[in-house]
Amino acid sequence: MARKRKGHGASNPAVSTAVVMVLYVTDSGPNSVRAIANLEAICKEHLNGNFRLEIIDVLEYPLRALADGVVVTPSLAKLFPLPAATVVGNLSDRGGVLRALGIVE
């Protein structure tokens, strides 16, 4: 599973540049499913379509996770804007995710 999602354009003045993220998951593992759902909710509420998200299933692309230095799944890597940041777990810690994405200080 490698899915790419793209927002519909920036309308939130607070976030002017697109956030580029990669979410590493394990097929339909329970935490992976939750992580996808939590991240979808955050993107919908805070990024307002101004993001690019790639979802990588490590069972399907094992070498990709290894190459990207991913240790556990689910893991969310924010690539842009810099600085890069990583959040592990099912992303139920909404504040931590928002901070990692640079949406809140």
Site for other proteins, rule CB under 8 A = 25-32, 34, 37-38, 41, 44-45, 58-59, 62-63, 65-67, 70-74, 86, 88-94
Based on CB atoms, which residue is closest to other proteins, 2 or 66?
66
Q: Which of 16, 6, 24, 11 is nearest to 66 (CA)?
A: 24
Q: How far is the CB of 45 from other proteins (least distance, A)?
A: 6
Based on CB atoms, which residue is closest to other proteins, 61 or 80?
61
| 85-88 β-sheet, strand order | 2-6, 51-57, 19-25, 75-80, 85-88
